Structure 1
Amino acid sequence: MSTIVAGHFQLQDQVEQARIELMRAGFAEDQISSFYLSQPGQHDATPIGGDNITSPGAKESPEGVVEGLATGGAVGAAVGLATSPFTGPAGPVIGGLVGAHVGSLFSFSKMKEAGEEEEGGVKNEFVQRHAGMIVAVAFEQEADEQRALEVLQRLGSDQIERARGTIRNGDWTDFDPTSLPKLYH
């Protein structure tokens, strides 16, 4: 495995210029890979499509639904029972159903916003790669990293990341679009 520096660009012309400039900076053509990266969520990484089986930040939602159903159902049934002289025997049943439905909406309060802490103090942060063209270059020497960074920054890459992987014959063979990128900026 090599160290890889990858820059994200929006235009094909920028990609071609980056490839040329990286070769001028001393990188071999087969060390450089370029490809289009789809929008987050469109990588078809799961059996049902998409990138994740569960949404980041929704980890605690199932327990919120259960809590809400139980609490809302009990409160609704109690209210229905208290109003049964007016509503008849259907009051507790309807009250329980309405209460359970309203209570299940409590699960939304368990969902986390980006950056908010989950249980255990872990932050709900999910840094995604931008869709667009990627130019990546692999190297072994630390000195090469600075050269690659300078080229990609000078050409206006809007996101630059560092990774470990393999570029073979111009193909980043082990690139995972759903992995969390380690961004320089």
Structure 2
Amino acid sequence: MSIIIAGHFQLQDEVDRARQALVDAAYPEQHICGFFVNQPGQHDMTAIGGDRALSPGARETPEGLAEGAAAGGIVGAAVGAVTTPVTGPLGAIVGGLVGAHVGSLFSFSKMKDKGEDEAGGGNQDRVRKPGMLLAVAIEDGADEATAVEALRRVGAHHIERAHGTIVDGDWIDFDPLSEPQLLTH
């Protein structure tokens, strides 16, 4: 496993210039890898597509919706029961159903507004940006700063440092869900 320095680009021409800059800086071509990183959620890593079986922000959703629906249903049923002389016996049932629905929506909105910092959510620097990525494996003892400067000179943004293995121009253990260790923005 090597240290990998990677920079993000918007255009293929920029990647080509950056690749040449790294080769000119004496990095072997087989240690350089360029590819496109998809949007978060579109990496097709599960059998049914997507990145994860369960969204990171959805951990508390079933319990929160059940609690909200129960509380809303009780309040709605109570209001319906009080209005039964006017609405008839269906008032309590309709009141309970409407209350449960409103309660579940309120509890869902409350969970989303908490802003809890969870893996894969919250801080946008924790998510790898989509676009073209050019990476170079740094040999033991080699100067990382040279690779960073070469990428910066040709317009790389979101330069990151990672650990991995590039074999014959292919970053074989790249994980698009890993949190990038940004060196510059």
Question: Would the aligned equivalents of 2:31 and 2:167 in 1 still touch at CA under 8 Å?
Answer: yes
Alignment of 1:24-173 (within 5 A): 24-106=24-106, 107-112=108-113, 116-118=115-117, 124-126=122-124, 127-173=126-172
CA deviations over 1:4-50 (Å, ceiling 9, x no partner): 00011111111111111111111111111111122222111223322
Q: Name the SS of the counterpart of 2:57 in structure 1.
A: coil
Equivalent-residue separation in structure 1 for 2:34 and 2:122 (angstroms): 31
**Which residue in 1 is equivalent to 2:6?**
6
1:174 deviation in Å? Answer: 0.5
Whichever residue aligns with residue 160 of structure 2, its letter is E
Structure-2-length-normalised TM-score: 0.89
Structure-1-length-normalised TM-score: 0.89
Question: Would the aligned equivalents of 1:56 and 1:124 in 2 still touch at CA under 8 Å?
Answer: no
> How many corresponding residue pairs?
180
Equivalent-residue separation in structure 2 for 1:112 and 1:47 (angstroms): 31
Distance 1:98 1:68, change over 3 A: same
Whichever residue aligns with residue 125 of structure 1, its letter is N
Task: List structure 1 runs of 4+ shifted beyond 4 angstroms.
Answer: none
Query: Structure 2: any 5+ residue segments left out of the alignment?
Result: none
1:142 deviation in Å? Answer: 4.6
Query: Structure 1: any 5+ residue segments left out of the alignment?
Result: none
Whichever residue aligns with residue 50 of structure 1, its letter is G
Q: Give identity over the alignment, percent.
A: 56
Equivalent-residue separation in structure 2 for 1:6 and 1:138 (angstroms): 9
Whichever residue aligns with residue 102 of structure 1, its letter is V
Question: Would the aligned equivalents of 1:112 and 1:124 in 2 still touch at CA under 8 Å?
Answer: no
1:63 deviation in Å? Answer: 2.2
Higher mean C-alpha deviation, range 56-65 or range 128-137? 56-65
